Amino acid sequence: MKDRIFSGVILVVFFVAIVVFNHSFPLALNIAIALISALAVYEIIKALGLSNRWFITVPGMVTAVLVQFCEFQAANMLIYAAFTACVFGALLRHHREITFKEVAVVYSMVVMIPLALQSIVLVRGLSEEHGMFYALICVFAAWIPDAGAFFAGKLFGKHKLCPEISPKKTVEGLIGGVISSTLIILLLGWFFSSVFYGGTRQVNWLSLLIIGFFGSFVSVLGDLSFSLIKRSCHIKDFGNVIPGHGGILDRFDSVIFTAPFVYLVTLLFPMVP
C-alpha cells in the first residue's frame, strides 16, 4: 500500500513538473510520453515472449518514440508506412522464428498504444494558453477513478465486477471511482478557474462533467482490457519499474483509453472556452 501511494505521488509530481516547465522546455512532454510509449510497447512484446526478436522489438520501440514528436497526420502515415515495411520485411526474412499471428498482435499494439498516448501531446495543441491543463486532465481522468475505485473497493467492496478477468475489482469500487472522478475533475476545474486564474477565466462545466463521469467508465474499460491481455499471457504484471503498481502498462493502461476520449470531448466542448 505504501509503495503504491508513494509511486502514485511521484508520478503526479512528475507530470506537474512537466506543466511547470512547459513554457521553458515544451519538448519535456513529448520526451516523457515517448519514453512511456516505448516502454509500454516493449512490455507488450515481452509479455508475448518476443522481446528477443530484435527485428520486431527495435522497429516497434522506435516507432513508439517517433510518433510522439509528429503532430501531423502525414508524418504519422510516413512513420507507420516505414514500420509496416520493416515488420513485414522481417516476417519474410525470419518466418521460421515468428508467426504471422504474433506479428499481427505486435503490429496492432504498436499502432494503438503510441497513437492513443499521442492524444496527450495533441490535446496540448488545442489551446496555446491552456493546453497543459488539458494534458493533465487526460492523465487524471484515468488515475482519479482508479484511485477512487481502489479505496472504495477496499472499504466497501463486496460484489465482484469481473472476477474472471480482475478478481479484485468490485461494483462498489466502480461506483466509488465514478463518484470520485466526477467530483475531483469538477474540483480541478474550480481550482483552475477560481484559484489559478482568480476567477478571470471560466471552465466549461459540461465538458468536465462528461470527462469526469463517462471517463471513469472508459478508464475501467482500459484497465480490464489490459488485465485480459495479462491473463492471456499468463503474467501478473507487465513489469516492475513502478513499485506498488508494476510496469508502465500497469499504470498507463487506462490512460491509453481515456486520453483519446478526453481529446475528442475537448474538440467538441473545449474545457476552457
How confident is the model at residue 58, as a pLDDT? 96
Output b/e per residue, 170-180; b: 16+ Cβ within 10 A: bbbbbbbbbbb
| pLDDT for 146 beyond 70 | yes
223-251 average pLDDT score = 86
Backbone phi, psi, residue 202, to 5°:
-110, 150
Q: Which residue in 228, 193, 198 sits closest to 208, CA to CA? A: 193
| pLDDT for 219 beyond 90 | yes
Q: Give 100's contacts (C-beta < 8 A, 6+ positions apart).
A: 91
102-128 average pLDDT score = 94
Rounded distance, CA 264 to CA 261, Å?
5
Q: What confidence tens digit (pLDDT) does each residue in 178-201 have?
A: 999 999 999 999 998 888 777 778
Distances (CA, A) of 265 to 74, 126, 133, 210, 260: 23, 12, 14, 8, 9
| pLDDT for 4 beyond 60 | no
Residue 10 pLDDT level (bands cut at 50, 70, 90): low
Residue 237 pLDDT level (bands cut at 50, 70, 90): confident
| pLDDT for 113 beyond 90 | yes
Q: Which residue in 85, 124, 127 sits closest to 107, CA to CA? A: 85
Q: Give 209's contacts (C-beta < 8 A, 6+ positions apart).
A: 182, 185, 186
Domain ranges of the chain: 2-268
How confident is the model at residue 240, as a pLDDT? 79
Distances (CA, A) of 17 to 24, 25, 53, 132, 250: 12, 11, 36, 11, 22
105 or 196, greater pLDDT: 105
Q: Are 269 and 204 in contact (CB under 8 A)?
A: yes
State the Cα angle at 121 between 103 and 14, rounded to 5°. Answer: 100
Q: Are 207 and 262 in contact (CB under 8 A)?
A: no
| pLDDT for 207 beyond 90 | yes
98-126 average pLDDT score = 94
112 CB neighbour count, 10 Å cutoff:
15
| pLDDT for 7 beyond 80 | no
The beta strands (E) that lie in the chain are given as 160-162, 166-170
How confident is the model at residue 196, as a pLDDT? 76
DSSP single-letter state for residue 124: H
What are 128's three cell numbers? 496555446
Three-state DSSP class for residue 107: helix
Q: What confidence tens digit (pLDDT) does each residue in 44-74 have?
A: 999 999 999 999 999 999 999 999 998 888 8
The pTM assigned to this predicted structure is 0.91
Q: Give 162's contacts (C-beta < 8 A, 6+ positions apart).
A: 169, 224
Give one DSSP letter per residue of 10-79, joined into a string: HHHHHHHHHHHTTTT-THHHHHHHHHHHHHHHHHHHHHTT-TT-HHHHHHHHHHHHHHTT--SHHHHHHH
